Structure 1
Amino acid sequence: MPQTPSRPRWRRVAGSPWFHLVAAFVLAGLVLSFVAKPYWVPSGSMETTLEPGDRVLVNRLAYVGSSPGSGDVVVFDAGPEWDIAAAAASDPLRGALRWIGEVTGFGPSGAHTLIKRTIGTAGQTVACCTDEGRLTVDGAPLDEPYVTNDFAFEPGTLDCTSTPRSPRCFDAVTVPAESLLLLGDNRGNSSDSAAFCRSDDAAPTCWRWATRADVVGKAAVVFWPVPRWNVF
């Protein structure tokens, strides 16, 4: 009887379950690196737009050839000036859990990764506040329906001219080149770019910037839990 010709080696390798597993991991890595990335919201700084525990899908291609615009909700890798250097140290188990979280969105995300709303971009001047307590960008008051739990502000009683002044107020600042000014929607409970600048004696170095290179991508959709499904 004629012998059945053996399959080429490459076909035997390609048909192996181990090959399929490795290929799946490689494909997942490419998607996470270049297309989309799940993110687990760790805190209430973006309430009620985002709640602690929400899982967000981040579009990594959103800013190819462009930069974040005012109002965009972005995920970014925060530097040590954001007071999270201690979070970088973790045991192997915590590191493994973070890896699983980054891959699946179910569990903690990277120790250095935060999510905030873009308020000012490079070259823009941001200040707070107008006589009505509104934040301005290049002199134009912003309409911010997403803000919750804002700092107290009462025109004529507790404002930017009173003593003490309202904690909502900060001096005008021009965003440096290649940088972003980011604030939380839960304005009164957000450790954001202006966190150390809301006082009468704040130093010019109080600002914490995110750079364009720090941006992972734009928040695209809340995909979990299901009742909170929402597209940005």
Structure 2
Amino acid sequence: MDTEAHVTERDRSSSPEGGAEEGSRSARFLDAPWRGPALLGAACVAFLLLFSTFVMQPFLIPSGSMQPTLEIGDRVLVNKLAYRFGSVPQRGDVVVFDGTGSFVREAPAGNPVTGPVRWAAAAVGLAEPAETDYIKRVVGVGGDRVVCCDKRGRAEVNGRPVDEEYLYPGDAPSRVPFDIVVPQGTLWVMGDHRSRSRDSRDHLGEPGGGMVPVEKVVGRADWIGWPAGRWGSLQRPDASTDVRAPGPVGSHG
């Protein structure tokens, strides 16, 4: 008797009435009032992440190494297409780059649970960038000889002094003397707040000598997008471009 009862119960669940009930539940889910906004929100998030990954990424400034040009908490818009079609970084450009292999030996192990969430938040400028991402100013490109400092305390590129008006007030171009030739396909980069910036100078004695490979550049910081009171473009200083080039600028060797 128990067996017959179970069979009868199964038959009811598989009857047309049971199928109609399942279809009704599916229809209610598809017609739920929140479904449209939820799908639209998901599509918007996906679009923002794709746009940030391949075109333009907000980058949260986490330190004062680029003051006064960039303040802590600024969001700059990094143009990821700036160097995609044959263009190369130029002296004076403010660039974001992956410091793995130049500023840090290897990337730290990420958390598999919180890592993707943190990446997504950083991609839209809501969280600090990855520990291996840096933002600095290009001072020398491939083939340049960069020296600091001359008798008047100025940095020289290819024998010509550079008037670095963007430096933090009171900062010297460098308190660490150096005389380097930038290998082809790499960059010599420094922060505008030289006394607070860990940059190419801090890696002179390490493999690579503090040079950043051009292929590690994520993009060029072109605009300050936030806060609203600091909106504006980041122009390449004229003094940085008015330097004799000893050879092909920024080419790969």
TM range (shorter): 0.7 to 0.9
Which residue number in structure 2 is paired with residue 188 of structure 1? Answer: 195
2: CA distance, partners of 1:117 / 1:29: 26
Q: Residues 134-157 of structure 1: CA distance to partner in whole angstroms, max 9, x if unpaired?
A: 1011111101001114249xxxxx
8 Å CA contact 1:78, 1:214 repeated in 2: yes
Rate the CA distance shift 1:62–1:187 in 2: closer, same or farther, 3 A.
Answer: same
Q: Aligned to 1:73, which of 94, 110, 125?
A: 94
8 Å CA contact 1:151, 1:168 repeated in 2: no
After TM superposition, give the deviation of residue 226 of structure 1 in Å: 1.5
Which residue number in structure 1 is paired with residue 230 of structure 2? Answer: 228
Which residue number in structure 2 is paired with residue 213 of structure 1? Answer: 215
Q: What SS class does the counterpart of residue 115 from structure 1 fall into?
A: strand
* Residue 30, structure 1, aligned to residue 50, structure 2: yes
Amino acid at match of 1:191: R
2: CA distance, partners of 1:145 / 1:123: 24
8 Å CA contact 2:140, 2:182 repeated in 1: yes
After TM superposition, give the deviation of residue 97 of structure 1 in Å: 5.3
Q: What SS class does the counterpart of residue 218 from structure 2 fall into?
A: strand
Rate the CA distance shift 1:230–1:94 in 2: closer, same or farther, 3 A.
Answer: farther
8 Å CA contact 2:98, 2:216 repeated in 1: yes
8 Å CA contact 1:97, 1:108 repeated in 2: no
Greater Rg by CA = 2
8 Å CA contact 2:149, 2:156 repeated in 1: yes
Amino acid at match of 2:200: S
1: CA distance, partners of 2:158 / 2:128: 37
2: CA distance, partners of 1:59 / 1:196: 27
2: CA distance, partners of 1:26 / 1:97: 13
1: CA distance, partners of 2:158 / 2:201: 17
Rate the CA distance shift 1:224–1:93 in 2: closer, same or farther, 3 A.
Answer: farther
Which residue number in structure 2 is paired with residue 98 of structure 1? Answer: 118
Which residue number in structure 1 is paired with residue 184 of structure 2? Answer: 177
8 Å CA contact 1:62, 1:217 repeated in 2: yes
TM-score, normalised by the number of residues in structure 2:
0.70
Q: What SS class does the counterpart of residue 219 from structure 2 fall into?
A: strand
After TM superposition, give the deviation of residue 19 of structure 1 in Å: 5.0
Structure in which a larger fraction of residues adopt helix: 2
After TM superposition, give the deviation of residue 92 of structure 1 in Å: 5.2
Which residue number in structure 2 is paired with residue 147 of structure 1? Answer: 167
Q: Aligned to 1:51, which of 63, 68, 71?
A: 71
- RMSD of aligned alpha carbons: 2.5
Aligned residues: 198
Amino acid at match of 2:115: G
8 Å CA contact 1:180, 1:211 repeated in 2: yes
8 Å CA contact 2:188, 2:212 repeated in 1: yes
TM-score, normalised by the number of residues in structure 1:
0.75
Structure 2: which 5+ residue stretches go unaligned? Answer: 1-29, 235-253
2: CA distance, partners of 1:84 / 1:41: 22
Structure 1: which 5+ residue stretches go unaligned? Answer: 1-11, 153-165, 198-202
